[in-house]
Each structure stands twice: as structure tokens, then as C-alpha cells.
Chain A
Amino acid sequence: EDKVVQSPLSLVVHEGDTVTLNCSYEVTNFRSLLWYKQEKKAPTFLFMLTSSGIEKKSGRLSSILDKKELFSILNITATQTGDSAIYLCAVYSGGGADGLTFGKGTHLIIQP
């Protein structure tokens, strides 16, 4: 059974801090790993990672994948209160379900 584990489950930091969110996975026929940001409603797509060692970057957010160690990290630098959300990691695999397997998410709270 495919499994995605995120840590920490919750995190409270102050504005301006840098945070690192972790995602490890065990899946059959790994295809890609995706990060989403969920603020109360629809998860918003952030990154898709398919290759090891290649950093994806968008503004203050960046992410990288390690296919050998089966994990990914999502970094957010100079955090702002608007970064407060649940960050979901999901893996798309070729085995079994065609949908994404999600982790439980990291609930990030940025305090002013």
C-alpha cells in the first residue's frame, strides 16, 4: 500500500523565519511528487518533482526531491502571515490507484 508521511504535522513560527517541511514516501512505481497549499478550501498546486536533485523554486518557496532516500522537502524563506496554511505532499504512482496518495499535511502557522 502506498504511503506518504509528512512531518512535522504542525509548526508555529514567527514572521521572517525560514521553515522546512518534510515528506517521505513509500510507493510502487513512483512517477512524481507534488506539493499543494491548502487554505481552508481547494489545495493550490505549488510544485511537481520528478527528478532527484533538481530544485524547483517559486519566489520564497523551493522544493527538492531525493529519489534514493525517498523524500522531499519544501522550504519557505522569510515567512509571512499569508504563508499560514496546510501544506500537502502527494505522490503519483503507477501502481494501484490512478489518483494521488496524500500525506496528512503540515499545518503551518506564521505569527506576526
Chain B
Amino acid sequence: GAVVSQHPSWVICKSGTSVKIECRSLDFQATTMFWYRQFPKQSLMLMATSNEGSKATYEQGVEKDKFLINHASLTLSTLTVTSAHPEDSSFYICSARGARERNIQYFGAGTRLSVL
């Protein structure tokens, strides 16, 4: 149980375009989903927290107009990187947490974004 699917696993795009990343909880209802960013040899850095049906809460320094998060259902959250630039190239990982095990987050496989 507790499977989180993230898609796509790898995306290359041109500078100025927008990229959407999907995160789905496959076998449980995710009341809360999280988006992290990971730089090479660095730890996961929390970008934002989203609860189903409400606006995402962004961490300090994360531009909410650049990283649009939608959590329209209990099994799906999306992260859209708008007008991507090379400095946005990174590894983005989502995680999901259910109502039962509130302290455990289950992670997706991550998305490698390369902006040319």
C-alpha cells in the first residue's frame, strides 16, 4: 500500500515554456501533498504544502506565481513550473500523506526537469 505515482519522470523543455508535473496517490486518499526540490548532493527542500481543495502554502523564498500548485482531488496534485528557466532545472519530488498516518509521507519517484 501507500503508493505515490509521479509523472513524468524526466522532462526537457525550452526556456520560457511551462511544465506540469503530476503526483497521484494510488491506493489511499492524500489529504495533504508536499512538493520538494532536490539539488545534486543536497537534501530535499520543501517548496510547498497543499491540502485538498485549498490554496497551497509556500515556503519562504518560493515564488507562488512561478510554481503553481493545484490539489483538486484527494488523489491528485499538480505542480506547474511556469516560464521555466535553466536555473529551474532540478529534481522535483512530491509526497503524500493520508489522514490515518499523519506523520508519514510517501514519496513519488521524482521528476528530473532540464530547462535548455
1/0 contact string of B30-45 vs chain A (CB within 8 Å): 0010101000011111
Which 8 A-B pairs rank lowest in CB-CB distance, beginning with the nearest? Answer: A99-B46, A102-B43, A42-B109, A41-B109, A32-B103, A42-B107, A104-B43, A102-B44
1/0 contact string of B90-108 vs chain A (CB within 8 Å): 0001010000000111111
Select from chain B the residue with minimum beta-carbon distance to A32. Answer: B103
Q: How far is the CB of B103 from chain A (nearest CB, A)?
A: 4
B34 touches A99 (CB 8 A): yes
When distances are taken between beta carbons in the complex, the residues of chain B under 8 Å from A101 are 46
When distances are taken between beta carbons in the complex, the residues of chain A under 8 Å from B42 are 104
Whether a CB of chain B sits under 8 angstroms from the CB of A76 is: no
Most buried by A among B4, B34, B43: B43
Question: What are 24 A-B contacts with C-beta separation under 8 Å?
Answer: A31-B103, A34-B104, A34-B105, A42-B4, A42-B6, A42-B93, A42-B107, A42-B108, A44-B107, A45-B104, A48-B103, A48-B104, A50-B103, A88-B43, A99-B36, A99-B59, A99-B105, A100-B34, A100-B46, A102-B43, A102-B44, A102-B45, A104-B42, A104-B43
- Sorting the interface of chain B by its residue count into under 10, 10 to 19, 20 to 34 or 35 or more gives 20 to 34
1/0 contact string of A44-59 vs chain B (CB within 8 Å): 1100101000000000
Q: How far is the CB of B46 from chain A (nearest CB, A)?
A: 4
A98 touches B103 (CB 8 A): no
Q: Which of A31, A97, A104 contacts B46 (CB 8 A)?
A: A97
Select from chain B the residue with minimum beta-carbon distance to A99. Answer: B46
Q: How far is the CB of A41 from chain B (nearest CB, A)?
A: 4
When distances are taken between beta carbons in the complex, the residues of chain B under 8 Å from A99 are 34, 36, 46, 49, 59, 95, 105
A97 touches B103 (CB 8 A): no
B103 touches A92 (CB 8 A): yes
A90 to B34 alpha-carbon distance, docked (Å): 14
Docked complex: A60-106 residues within 8 A CB-CB of B = 88, 90, 92, 97-105
When distances are taken between beta carbons in the complex, the residues of chain A under 8 Å from B49 are 97-99
Q: How far is the CB of A104 from chain B (nearest CB, A)?
A: 5
A5 to B109 alpha-carbon distance, docked (Å): 24
